[in-house]
Chains A and B, each alone.
Chain A
Amino acid sequence: MEPQFSDQPGGYVGKPLVRVEGREKVTGKAKYAAEFALPGLAYGVFTTSPIAKGKITRIDTSAAAREPGVLAVLTHQNLPKLAKTPNDPQGKKDIGAPMGFLPLTGDEIFYAAQPVALVVADTLEHATHAATLVQVSYQKGEPLANFKQPKAELFDPEKVQDGKQKGHTRRGEPQAAFASAPIQLTAIYNHPVYNHNPMEPGSTTAHWEAPDRLTIYESTQGVTRTQSAVAAMTGMPREQIRVITKYLGGGFGCKGATWPHTILTVQAAKAVGRPVKLMLTREQMFTSMGHREDQEQVMQLGATADGKLTSLVHTKKSTTSPWDNYAEPNSKIVDLLYASPTFESSYELARANVMTSTFMRAPGEAPGSFAIECSMDDLAYRVGVDPIEIRLRNYADHDYGTGQPWSSKSLKQCYARGAELFGWSKRNPKPGATRDGRYLVGMGMASASYPVHNSSGTARARLYADGHAVVQAGATDLGTGTYTVMTQVAADSLGLPIDKVRFELGDTQLPTAPNSGGSVAAGTVSSSVYLACQDVWQKLIKAAVIDRKSPLYRAKPEDVAVEKGRLFLKKDPKKGEAFGELMKRGEMTDIEGMAQGKYGSGYEDAAAAKNADPTQKDQAGHHSMHSFGAHFCEVRVDMDLGTIRVSKWVSVIGAGRILNAQTARSQIIGGAIFGIGSALMEETIRDQNFSRYTNADLAGYHVPVNADIPDMTVEFVEEHDPHINAMGVKGIGEIAMVGVAAAVANAVYHATGKRLRDLPLTPDKVLMAGLNS
Chain B
Amino acid sequence: MNNFAYTQAASTKEATTAKEADKQAAFIGGGTTLLDIMKSNIEQHSLLIDINKLSLMGIDNAATGLRIGALERMSDVGEHPQVVQNYPVISQALLASASPQLRNMASMGGNLLQKTRCGYYRDTAFPCNKRVPGSGCPAQQGDNRNLAIFGTSPNCIATNASDLAVALVALEAKLTLENPKGATRTVPLADFYKLPGSTPHLENQLQPGELITAITVPAAAHARKSHYLKVRDRASYAYALVSAAVGLDVQGGTIRSARVALGGVGTVPWRVPAVEKALVGKAPTEDNFRAAAALAVRDAQPREHNKFKVELAQRTLVRALMEIA
Contacts and interface: CB of A to CB of B under 8 A. Distances in A.
Partners in one complex: yes
A708 B124 CA distance: 32
A768 interface: yes
Interface string B15-35: 000000000000000000000
A67 B126 CA distance: 26
B6 interface: no
Contacts of B233: 681, 702, 762-763
A87 interface: no
B282 interface: no
Given A687-B142, A700-B117, A771-B311, A692 B125 contact: yes
Contact of A112 (B122, B124, B125, B142): B125
B291 to A, nearest CB: 16
A148 to B, nearest CB: 14
Interface string A699-722: 110101111100000000000000
Given A687-B142, A704-B234, A767-B311, A640 B41 contact: no
B138 A687 contact: yes
Nearest to B118: A694
Contact of A707 (B125, B235, B315): B235
B123 A696 contact: yes
B13 interface: no
A50 interface: yes
A695 interface: yes
A490 to B, nearest CB: 40
Interface string B233-245: 1111111010000
Of the listed residues B1, B239, B241, B316, the one surrounded by the most CB atoms of chain A closer than 10 A to its CB is B241
B123 A707 contact: no
B319 A689 contact: no
A763 B3 contact: no
A1 to B, nearest CB: 52
A690 B124 CA distance: 13
A696 B122 CA distance: 10
A248 B122 CA distance: 30
Interface string B96-124: 00000000000000000000010110111
Contacts of B64: none
A234 interface: no
Contacts of B318: 640
A585 to B, nearest CB: 61
B270 to A, nearest CB: 18
Of the listed residues B2, B142, B235, the one surrounded by the most CB atoms of chain A closer than 10 A to its CB is B235
Interface string B40-55: 0100000000000000
Contacts of B251: none
Contact of A705 (B122, B138, B235, B312): B235
B4 to A, nearest CB: 11
Interface stretch (A203-211, A428-436, A641-649): A641-649
Contacts of B194: none
B143 A694 contact: yes
A139 interface: no
Interface in B136-150: 138, 141-143, 145
A760 to B, nearest CB: 8
Contacts of A142: none
A694 B142 contact: yes
A477 to B, nearest CB: 28
16 contacts: A112-B125, A641-B315, A687-B120, A687-B143, A690-B126, A690-B142, A694-B123, A695-B143, A700-B117, A702-B233, A702-B234, A707-B234, A707-B235, A708-B236, A763-B308, A764-B241
Interface of B: 1-3, 41, 117, 119-120, 122-126, 138, 141-143, 145, 231-239, 241, 308, 311-312, 315-316, 318-319
Interface of A: 49-51, 112-113, 125, 128-129, 132, 283, 640-643, 645, 680-681, 685, 687-690, 692-697, 699-700, 702, 704-708, 762-764, 767-768, 771
The 3 closest A-B pairs by CB, nearest first: A694-B119, A50-B125, A707-B235
